[in-house]
Chain A
């Protein structure tokens, strides 16, 4: 097998030198194979030659090897003309379809190689500013507070990682945003310090709901009786012979009896609803009477009151009335507006009914039930006799100003994620039992308490100041203040001391603020905010005098390492090792790499890196169709996304093989997913490793619901999305980007076909087949996963009618046929064989992973000049069975990582 696996290289690759220390020869790689010259000569040259140069375009002198941008542009033009079907002109003889497909496939690949080669930075790392995440984390490490930085522009829009310097811009607007965010962070930090010792506590007893429901039921019964009386009186008036004419007219104008009664005033002798106690406060009283007649959801409310333990708690049901009128759907707790910023803990004491089915035992926690997101989901294993205590951490900031972000809630998972979805579930239950969703979860109380931060060590930035922050203490004298500013700036600049001129200017600024009437605390914050918008804080600089590269200093190495593995500045321990120079010793560097990976702050790396490496932003691009996939509710989606991170973090903790992401005999899941996947054995309430039963399709990325969910659109699966993702992310054999101007296929639109038949249309046109013959077969092999990642054996399709709705009469159902073959590669009978083939290519997967690591860690695109580095990393990791940490160690030890 060739080193790139069984897919024959369609690009003429010149084998790179193997020795990692030798700079490889600058030999061009982007070459069209000579085997295409015949087609090129036959179909292009007769018009686009020196003499004719049709369209002012010549190809007779077009080199088959691309070494400059001009040549690349010409080939791009050739590719575009062929893709759009514009060339060869219709009246000319057309090339053989297979030859054209191969030509296009190779040219598309060659263009990718050429672009990559021409944009190779040859190892040069551009100085860069902190990206949005790093900026947030850096403020957090310096000041101990986390602020919302979403107003800053997102980074990395051009497709690379958000650490790539050439994509990280700066502008005047942004400077002002840094200044205001810095100010906000300081306000927040000062507020935390001011409230350090506070520990307010509030508990809401859920049985508060009981008398409300009792009263509401009594009201509903009484109002229904009064409404009946009123209706009777109106009907009696209407029945009078002298009213016959007016009544006939009113009835003909009204769609139903309720609307008819709305016109009661026009019927002589009809009594007012007000006289029966219906006062709609300025609106039509008849509406209230009519509504009361229906006594909406009265049986459900009565059913509620039949439940046990109402004297000690409340049950979580569905939404029946407007929540302002009556709410039996969720329990709320408002964190009082005068409570300070800080870390809080939310506790919920809850139980599940003994007869609650397994899927009805999950509790969602979030902020603001109507508009907010679900933040956490817990399985309730407690009983009414022995309820369970759930603890959820919560941080309140100065940004949490309104009810929308201070109103905590708990409700049954998925019971009312949206009005549409909640209503659908409710209707289903009514159909089943005539009343509504069974009550399965019970809450005793919900409480919130602040965790005092007085005993915690001061954040380094605050500690460095060491002067009073409030306006009560006497302000520091000039010398004290200057020293404090110097200490703070040095801390903010990650150990680099500011110039004396800079400090002078800060002092002047402070003076000006005081003179302008600022109180000392405010003047100090304004001055410090300027430090947090200064280049030495915002940029990760590694100065070099000459254009030549040099080894990093120990301090620079510490910064590069911590921004790689934490997306945050070095801590005291790492800075100390840098100061003493010890960090330059390989064993110390390796030990620190391990320590940083063990630290919780490494989530800054794992979450951001995995998200970008695997392209997980697609998870948020669309909503699942809940009518088709009711089980993939908000809580499940959150859990499914986290499975990807948790699995990677599990591997990183135990230094497991990267190959486990391709196939494994275990999963790392929580109770929500255990239920979704139908897997037993999760003991605790977090994510844990569970061994899979034999024959499970789970285990590895392809078995994860979120990954398969991304390979569709929430409605249908997309074999193309899935095939492309596998080629890009797992096999390191990315197809060229979707080409521009290829005519779309629409001739099959109104036909009822299987997905496979529809996608196979790609194979008929050379422009499509050139890429899709590689992509689509892989997608076919994954068709047993539905659009929400559940296993299925059948699929169906219905043509849509003129109104855009599926027409049931045309519905066709078929058994999924996952058998297919890799283009010029092995065949597979089903998903399991496909997965085995992919799992056999861990070296390709490891190489793609290494490329992503290099780009992420070094902050520049990974180019061909990085081949020796990649070879080295993959080789070193390969010796340790591709253990995840070995990749990271190999990269950190490499010369590239330690060189500017």
Chain B
């Protein structure tokens, strides 16, 4: 009988040894001199797109001297510090209601014969495989607390898809996110070790059961059961990580635990605060947030159904009004997030903003329009050209932008999704 150790060896999971000199460790375990702060990658996705007539800058005025359109007005104070990128899309996307499913993957849902749905790894997870080694959490997936899909995200549990193209779950709403990051483990170290041993013992038990099941299965069923094995392997990896972090005190939460029941605008604002806190404490360096649109509209007292809102073209009126107010609210929230990124200091006196690369957008422009996906890039962490209205050639792969971001934060992969190269237009 194979032991758990065999299992770990045979798996692809690689557990990094704790790097004691690493920034993350020092941050709350010692008071050594500050080192260069690490790079962070953040993706913020909203489902139903934006109002195309009032959100995009004029494409005939590319460069830094452009007029900020109404939908982006709340970002005025940061105009020199973000770029709007136009002309990007995921060419395989054909689903008018999937604003997030393939946003970070660029996959073709029909690429596998005999399957009606396929997806591939998302850009954040590519980054997490590299940037996630030294932090307590490899990556953080946040998602709005909504049932059904009023926000037009499409299938998926968050913006993130793992290496086999399976959906990754995330923390729903501020309370879950906060507790995941900051709930205190006050258990004595010895007990923590014993608990880890127990958890491993649980995994060994269910693996035994999985193996007896596996014996009789054919190829397709084995492939299905492989998901279970992969899930257990992921927990093994996590336990490995937990083991290394035993005794490293958890960071003090830089904010109070959120009250339950916050939805819509308040929820997004709190989630942004929690993301700041996660970066501030170096709990993780890769973050995604699949923002709620349905509850955001409710909190703005907009009564139009979100999907109807994105089809404002035939009647305009209250649907267009709702769409534009949604844009304003989202832009205000983003502006607030950038404020905090700029005002949160790193140990060396720089700000979080200097080390983050942030992408904000959706796979849907508006209605069922999937070209010229709304895209805003900000943060000085990836050497991006900021302050510009960047007009890329029509139908440039969105994945070119993701590839550039990955390179910018030091993840040198050759390609991502359907990328055809880096997007030179966005590089400073």
Interface residues of A (CB under 8 A from B): 69, 72-73, 76, 80, 84, 115, 118-122, 124, 126-128, 150, 153-154, 157-158, 160, 165-167, 169-176, 179, 498-499, 501-502, 505-506, 508-509, 512-513, 516, 530, 533-536, 538-539, 541, 543-547, 617, 620-623, 625, 713-714, 737-742, 744-746, 748-750, 758, 761, 799-800, 804-805, 861
Contact = CB atoms under 8 A, between A and B. Distances in A.
Chain B CB within 10 Å — which of A175, A745, A750, A758 has the most?
Answer: A175
Given A73-B110, A119-B110, A171-B169, 14 more contacts: A121-B114, A122-B114, A127-B220, A128-B224, A157-B154, A170-B228, A512-B201, A541-B213, A623-B303, A739-B96, A742-B368, A749-B315, A758-B315, A805-B318
Given A126-B224, A165-B224, A153 B167 contact: yes
Contacts of B321: 800, 804
A617 B148 contact: yes
24 contacts: A73-B108, A84-B371, A118-B110, A119-B110, A170-B227, A175-B231, A508-B201, A509-B201, A534-B206, A534-B209, A539-B225, A543-B215, A544-B216, A544-B218, A545-B216, A617-B148, A620-B148, A739-B368, A740-B370, A741-B368, A742-B368, A749-B314, A749-B317, A800-B318
Interface stretch (B61-69, B72-80, B304-312, B403-411): B304-312
A127 B1 CA distance: 25
B349 interface: no
Nearest to A160: B116
B347 interface: no
Nearest to B156: A157
Contacts of A158: 109, 116-117, 155
Contacts of B415: none
Contact of A115 (B110, B311, B368): B110
A95 B320 CA distance: 33
Contacts of B31: none
B219 interface: yes
Interface string B127-154: 0000000000000000000011110001
B418 to A, nearest CB: 11
Contact of A749 (B110, B154, B155, B316): B316
Contacts of A536: 209, 212-213
Interface string B63-106: 00000000000000000000000000000111111000000000
Contact of B224 (A127, A179, A543, A750): A127
A150 B110 CA distance: 30
A171 B148 contact: no
A861 B224 CA distance: 16
Chain A CB within 10 Å — which of B116, B215, B228, B307 has the most?
Answer: B116
Contact of B369 (A121, A173, A506, A740): A740
A171 B305 contact: no
Nearest to B170: A173
Interface string B170-210: 00000000000000000000000011011001101110111
Nearest to A739: B368
B346 to A, nearest CB: 31
Give me the 7 closest cross-chain CB pairs, A-B, nearest first.
A543-B216, A800-B317, A744-B313, A157-B155, A172-B234, A749-B316, A127-B221
Contacts of B304: 713
Given A744-B311, A804-B318, A126 B220 contact: yes
B417 to A, nearest CB: 15
B27 interface: no
Given A157-B156, A861-B116, A804 B168 contact: no
A126 B219 CA distance: 10
A173 to B, nearest CB: 4
B111 interface: yes
A84 B201 CA distance: 57
A119 B305 CA distance: 33
Contacts of B212: 498-499, 501-502, 536
B113 A534 contact: no
Interface of A is mostly: loop
B211 to A, nearest CB: 9
Contact of A69 (B111, B166, B318): B111
Contacts of A621: 148, 150, 305, 307
A134 to B, nearest CB: 16
Chain B CB within 10 Å — which of A165, A513, A535 has the most?
Answer: A535
Nearest to B117: A158
Contacts of A175: 206, 228, 231-232, 235
Contacts of A539: 213, 224-225, 228
Nearest to A797: B315
B340 interface: no
Nearest to B325: A804
B198 A516 contact: yes
A147 B58 CA distance: 54
B217 interface: yes
Contacts of B215: 543
Nearest to A504: B208
Given A171-B166, A744-B314, A535 B209 contact: yes
B175 to A, nearest CB: 13
B367 interface: yes
Contact of B201 (A167, A169, A173, A505): A505
B198 A512 contact: yes
B231 A544 contact: no
A546 B108 CA distance: 31
Contacts of A533: 202, 206
Contacts of B308: 622, 713
Nearest to B367: A744
A119 B369 CA distance: 25
B8 to A, nearest CB: 14
Contact of B221 (A73, A541, A861): A541
B115 interface: yes
Contacts of A124: 114, 220
A533 B231 CA distance: 12
Contacts of A512: 197-198, 201
B338 interface: no
A84 B94 CA distance: 12
A179 B199 CA distance: 11
B231 A170 contact: yes
Contacts of B116: 115, 119, 158, 160, 166, 861
B96 A530 contact: no
B286 interface: no
A97 B195 CA distance: 71
B359 interface: no
Contacts of B111: 69
Contacts of B238: 172
A509 B154 contact: no
A544 B317 CA distance: 60
Contact of B217 (A121, A127, A154, A744): A127
B113 A535 contact: no
B43 to A, nearest CB: 19
Contact of A745 (B195, B206, B213, B313): B313
B334 interface: no
A501 B212 CA distance: 10
Given A749-B315, A804-B317, A544 B217 contact: yes
